[in-house]
Amino acid sequence: MGEQLPVISLFSGAGGLDLAVERADADLLAPADEGSGLLRVAVATDYDDQALDTLRDNFDRAATLSGDIRTIATDQILGTAGLRPSEPVLVVGGPPCTPFSKSGFWLEQKRESRDPNASLLDEYVRVVRESRPEAFVLENVQGLTYSTHKHQFERLLRSLGELGYNPQWKVLLAADYGVPQLRRRVFVVGRRDGQRFEFPEPTHSGRSERDRTIDTTKIPHVTAGEAFRGLPASLRVTEDEIVDGRYGELAAEVPPGQNYLWHTDRYGGRNEFEWRSRYWTFLLRLDPARPSTTLQAQPGPWVGPFHWENIRTNDGLERARRLRVSEMLRLMSFPDNFRIAGSRADVQRQLGNAVPLELGKAVIKALMTQLGYVNEHAPVLIASG
């Protein structure tokens, strides 16, 4: 095998894109297969030390750099990776999505797109400009493409275009690429040679909140029930898994695939809520026959998705339960042995902000194929740096 191609990872978080980089040439839905080693993460950066602990636990060959990207020079990033400008084959990363997500959208400064963290997009452009990778992959929440953030998004595309990278963007549904989750993310991809990047065609098809037509020529969406297959059926219930408190009893009565609307006058539960008076995820239960809804990073105490099966507390009460770490890993198509630092809530925060592995793999493999490093019909290394 030739020398692995180096990649710079910005805003690395739990390492979803980093996993996709190092397994980009692996087969679809084969998380145990680490690929042929085409790419390697040369340096991973983040301001969250806990996320860097996660990265160090899982990427022992990658150097890490801690700090605010706004205060870290590109030369320092390159130096930590042992690289010079134009040597990185890729720059990848997802600037923190809080400014562009629906969460906290009630804040006036977010509605008006004045969140200061939006400037992190400019920092991403700065690293691309100064490190001159062969290509880049930027991902974010779909909200970045909304009209509310039109100014920031257009400035991002214009800035990358002025560097000659001809950026292309598209919102992709994770379930369409083998991830058991109805999660939409926007990807922006560009090539230094200015050639147009073509996004990968979906491999899977199924019903989503927007799509009612199913392409029968494709693989059916992976369901939550299929994703959890093989996990231990009975584990000791921990206190932080129990959905209790004010709405604990109501949550336990919600059937699989339903939410708080079950407890309105239109369904079979109690008439406790007004129709469409809450967010869709309030008291939401997974449906084992469908992919999960988006795994949220920082949900409130009664925000799902919760597991479809109830548990009994030590007092004999029937309650819904939150997802376990092993289940969240499966919903993100991460390998079972992936280690994440911190408590269960810390794990959900890191995974909820991450890129699902199979979705990232699809994009990066398509890019490496179009750059000529991967044979489209035989995913093996055919060139090296």
pLDDT digits (tens, 9 = 90+) for 248-270: 999 999 999 999 999 999 999 99
248 and 169, same domain (yes or no): no
In a domain, 159, yes or no: yes
Q: Assess if residue 226 is contained within a domain.
A: no
CB–CB of 329/351 below 8 Å? Answer: yes
Whether residue 261 is contained in a domain is answered as: yes
The tens digit of pLDDT for each residue in 260-298 reads 999 999 999 999 999 999 999 999 999 999 999 999 998
Q: What's the pLDDT score for residue 30? A: 62
Render the burial of 244-270: b for 16+ CB within 10 Å, e for the rest: beebbebbbbbebbbbbbbbbeebebe
User: 68 an active-site residue?
Assistant: no
Walk along the chain (385 residues) in steps of 10 and give the mean pLDDT of each run: 86 95 81 70 94 92 94 97 98 78 44 56 97 98 89 95 98 97 97 98 91 91 97 83 95 98 96 95 98 94 96 93 96 96 92 96 97 74 40
Q: How far is it, in rounded angstroms, from Cα 58 to Cα 339?
A: 7
Domain that holds residue 189: 5-221+337-381
Q: What is the Cα–Cα distance from 250 to 258, expressed in whole angstroms?
A: 12
Is residue 161 domain-shared with residue 304, that is, in the same domain?
A: no
Length of the chain (residues):
385
The pLDDT value recorded for residue 351 is 96
What's the confidence (pLDDT) of residue 147? 83
Catalytic residue among 97, 125, 182, 374: 97
- Phi, psi at 378, each rounded to 5°: -145, 95
Instruction: Read off the pTM.
Output: 0.90
What are the residues whose beta carbons fall under 8 Å from the beta carbon of 97, sequence distance 6 or more?
140, 141, 143, 144, 353
CB atoms near residue 32 (< 10 Å): 9
Question: Cβ(120)–Cβ(96) under 8 Å?
Answer: yes
Number of domains in the chain: 2
Which residue among 283, 298, 323 closes a domain? 323
User: Among 55, 60, 287, 302, which Cα is nearest to 180's?
Assistant: 287
Is 231 inside any structural domain?
no
CA distance 282 to 92: 33
Assess whether 295 and 147 both reside in one domain: no
183/306 same-domain check: no
Q: Give first-to-last CA distance, the chain, whole Å.
A: 11
Question: Could you give the CA distance from residue 271 to residue 264 in angstroms, rounded to a whole number?
Answer: 4
Residue at 230 is within a domain: no
Regarding whether 160 and 20 lie in a shared domain, the answer is yes
Structure confidence at residue 177 (pLDDT)? 97
Q: Enumerate the H helices of the chain as residue ranges.
A: 16-22, 49-58, 74-81, 108-111, 120-131, 150-162, 224-227, 248-253, 325-331, 344-352, 357-370
Look at residue 102 in the predicted model and tell me its pLDDT.
46
Q: Is the peptide bond before 96 cis (omega within 30 degrees of 0)?
A: no
For residue 161, is it within any domain?
yes
Q: How is residue 209 written in tokens? A: 């909140």
- My answer on whether 247 and 371 are in the same domain is no
Structure tokens at 261: 């609307």
Same domain, 263 and 165: no
Q: Are residues 155 and 18 in the same domain?
A: yes
Q: Indicate the pairing of strand 184-191 with strand 168-173.
A: antiparallel
| Residue 104, pLDDT score | 45
**Do both 20 and 162 map to the same domain?**
yes
> Cα–Cα distance between 94 and 102 in angstroms, integer?
17
Tell me the pLDDT tens digit for each residue of 80-98: 999 999 999 999 999 986 5
pLDDT reported for residue 35: 58
In a domain, 330, yes or no: no
